[in-house]
Amino acid sequence: MCGFAGIYAPGMRESNVGRVEQMIRKLAPRGPDGEGIVTRNGLALGHRRLKVIDLSEHAQQPMVDAELGLDLVFNGCIYNYRELREELQGQGYRFFSHGDTEVVLKAYHAWGLECVKRFNGMFAFAIHERDSGRLVLARDRLGIKPCYIAATDGRVAFASTLPALLKAGDIDTSIDPVALNYYMSFHAVVPAPFTLLKGVRKLPPATVQVYEQDGSHHSETYWRLKVGSREEDRAVSAEEWQERVLESLRRAVRRRMVADVPVGVLLSGGLDSSLIVGLLAEQGQTGLSTFSVGFEEAGGEKGDEFQYSDLIAEHFQTDHHKIMVPSSRLLETLPETFNAMSEPMVSYDNIGFYLLSHEVSKHLKVVQSGQGADEVFGGYHWYPPLLESGSGATDYCRLFMDRDFDEYAETVQAGYLQSDFASAFIEQQFSDEEGGNAVDRALQLDTTVMLVDDPVKRVDNMTMAWGLEARVPFLDHELVELAGRVPADLKVRGDGKWVLKEAARQVIPHQVIDRPKGYFPVPALKYIEGPYLDFVRDALNDTRAINRGLFNRDYLTRLLDNPKDHITPLRGSKLWQVALLELWLQTHHL
């Protein structure tokens, strides 16, 4: 729901309105239903609106409350806004709109920085206090909604996407060697606050950052996930865990139906999205719109999972839409997909979400999606080996990371070779003194870091590129906290997600639960050959790539000569990873 941007420069006399206008112009796809800019006391605040809750102009943004002396821009959705509104009315607050935006504004006035702890939802927002001149930026617990920042002496620019932020100008766009090491090693995950650009940082999840008029600033983390069973949890039976999980997920799915427009589901045919459909049907939803996408076969690998999505659509009598993407359409759409990325993301299903979102946006403004279940409930193949691990960090790196530091040294040119930041970060995450076993540590790392900067970012970027809001019930923070307490063996048992699968048997057909685990398949980007190989070779041999000097040419030659021989532990193409970074930089004129 929407996108925002702003420049906060209280000590500067020049107006930044023109720059903010350019920033929100870049955000137009995220908010096609309206725009606005507010300026005061060295602040220029802009917003693009997607109308989902309170479709009237009373909820337009930036929202200004002259009585309270607050200005607000907000992206996301507060699912418990009605309950909070009622509580605030009981305290004497008067409302001029009927949506969640004004609830955020009033909640901040009532409870200050503590207001974020009361929100159940996905959000990023900026609040400006007229009288003190203070600027407050905040992001939801699991980083579902983004906030990028470029801070220099006397100026803070911020925006919902990195490309929009660059329109603020005067930003150092050189490559950050720390972030480059993360990108090339940690499966393209660059943890907050880093981005690949030295002058751009991202607000970490569950963080409130405060900027004062005198130039000082501070931040605080308001929520921390702890994965690991408590002593009392170990006495809970497996059946009771299944009931608790299912009831919590029911609440999460029900909360995400809050809207003044219809809500559909992105149905991949896997357990997670199928369960969302089943729970909506259980709660009486009829005529539910569901959407699936598939691609042509490549390298002998099937490119769709329609047999399973069809089964769920027929079982629950949904209004189902199937999109089959020919290879020609895939190749011609790749540049658009790079343009939609705030940061380069290597997962093949970016293109799938981009094309699927385009189709869905013709029908709906809001969908629910199944992202997060694998990280929260232990669905990935690298978790079971960690149950008996003697060195969790070492085994996690071996199972997950794309290349070790020796290969990284062969990959990048000497000027970018500093240290093995990614491995050190993982080692630190696994050495948490309050941590549980290696599986618990891996789940906590993946839920709070990898999930934020891979699946969640992917869904936000690709859906919002078409003005489509995606809601992710598996990332309801109460469900995530509950799942964190489920004993690790109940999550990774069997092929993973055991407790969720057993709970799901009450709701959806067993054929979907007991099927082999699938991924969003885009075979042509895994087996790079023919026109795809030509496309990648052209990018890496482009004058801009050569002049940039990121990668060693001998290493690139090895990848280009035999792409199929260079696959990561997560079954990704190392050639695609290096090419994607270069293509992203070229697309954004960096």
List 2, 77, 115, 147, catalytic entry: 2
CA pair distance 183, 190, nearest whole angstrom: 6
- Type of residue numbered 290: T
Listed residue (24, 10, 13, 66) closest to 217, CA to CA:
10
Q: Within a 10 A sphere around the Cβ of 15, how many other Cβ atoms? A: 13
- β strands within 355-492, DSSP E: 366-368, 469-471
Element at 252 (helix H, strand E): helix 238-255
Phi, psi (deg, nearest 5) at residue 373: -65, -35
- β strands within 350-435, DSSP E: 366-368
Omega before 62 within 30 of 0, i.e. cis? yes
Q: Within a 10 A sphere around the Cβ of 487, how many other Cβ atoms? A: 20
The answer to whether 119 and 78 are in contact (CB under 8 A) is yes
Q: What is the DSSP letter of 261?
A: S
The total number of residues shown for the chain amounts to 590
Residue 109's contacts (CB-CB under 8 Å, 6 or more residues apart) are 65, 68, 70, 93
Q: Within a 10 A sphere around the Cβ of 500, how many other Cβ atoms? A: 28
Three-class DSSP category at 60: coil
The residue to which tokens 């970016």 are assigned: 350
Residue 2 falls in the annotated catalytic set: yes
DSSP notation for 305-366: -HHHHHHHHHHTT-EEEEEEE-HHHHHHHHHHHHHH-SS----THHHHHHHHHHHHHTT-SE
Element at 210 (helix H, strand E): strand 207-211
Q: Which residues are the active-site residues? A: 2
